[in-house]
Amino acid sequence: MAPSRNRRPGFSRRAQYGLFLSYVIAGAGALVALVLLALSSVNPPAYAAARATVAELTTPLSSGLAAIGRGLGSIPAGIGEHFAVKARNAELRRELADASRLLQRARTLNYDNRRLRALLHFRERAVQPVVTARLVSSTASSTRRVAVLNAGSWQGVREGQPVQGPEGLIGRILETGPNTARVLLITDPESIVPVRRTRDGLAALVVGRGDGMLDVRSVSLANAAFGAGDLFVTSGTGGIFAPNIPVARVVRRASDIALARALAQPNTLDFALVQQAFLPPPAPKPAPTATPTAMPSPSPTSAPTLAPSAPE
């Protein structure tokens, strides 16, 4: 009689080893997770140091994998661009003709603006860049929206500095290591950015939702109307973000609170610019020191007091 083909894994030495190895890996993973959870609850500074160490070790690997991914992802785009170059060229010519008219108008407005600034003696604070670095990774499934920057305190990066991309605001520096930094994205629920609407200057706040989208909330009007396509830029309030940095665009019409989409997407960016805070915090006031009080000196005209003599 031929043996049955439905043999249990216990008859195979290879299957036994594979099953045992899977149990060992699962148990080790659960143990490491429990240790990290306990460490984050009992000793948050030690957990932050461990997380920074892991980021330092994994950043070179993340940079290499990101470079490989960018290279492989550019192949289809290059092929498509090769076959569509003629149509793209005609479209760019039309856009150039439209842009030339806008450029002439912008030059006129810029000239008038310079003359008015000179008349008003207007002085504008220039924000100095700190460093240009790569965003090597970012969270995609967690409710916290944090990205890792491959530049840290050795490159001059400090906590609270704004991070900007070509399309708009990305976030601000949350933590720094020697060569890495964690960026709190504007889509994080703990991120609040003061903004204004470009068409009428309406003051608002952009708050992260944790799902990749943003909430725009009015701070000056009750039941303010938001229209689809409204563009919001930073207002400069708070002293962290410089004014006029593009932040978000409203998705659909709403009142009081509107759903918006961030203009800068960290998962599509190669480089990010770290800048100094628009208004640095004031220097701490010196502590008052106690001044010694001078003792009153005896008057030179006062006569010395003589002690009474003892009787003889």
* Cβ-contact 249, 232 below 8 angstroms: yes
Per-residue pLDDT tens over the stretch 38-82: 777 777 887 787 778 877 877 888 788 888 877 777 787 777 777
Per-residue pLDDT tens over the stretch 88-112: 788 888 888 888 888 888 888 888 8
> What is the arithmetic mean of pLDDT over 253-274?
87
Residue 235 reports pLDDT greater than 80 = yes
CA of residue 52 relative to chain centroid, distance: 17
Least confident of 52-56, 83-87, 170-174, 303-307: 303-307
Per-residue pLDDT tens over the stretch 125-144: 666 788 988 888 777 666 67
- Quickly list DSSP for 235-302: --TTSSSPTT-EEEEE-S-EESEEEEEES--GGG-SEEEEE--SSPPPPPPPPP-PPPPPPPPPPTTS
* Cβ-contact 206, 195 below 8 angstroms: yes
Kind of pairing between the strands at 257-262 and 213-218: antiparallel
User: Please, what is the average pLDDT of the chain?
Assistant: 80
Q: Check: CATH 2.40.10.340 for 128-275?
A: yes
275 bridge partner residues: 129
At residue 8, the pLDDT reads: 53
At residue 262, the pLDDT reads: 92
At residue 312, the pLDDT reads: 44
Per-residue pLDDT tens over the stretch 182-217: 999 999 999 999 999 998 889 999 999 888 899 999
Residue 284 reports pLDDT greater than 90 = no
Q: Residue 163: which of 220, 108, 245, 223 has the closest Cα?
A: 245
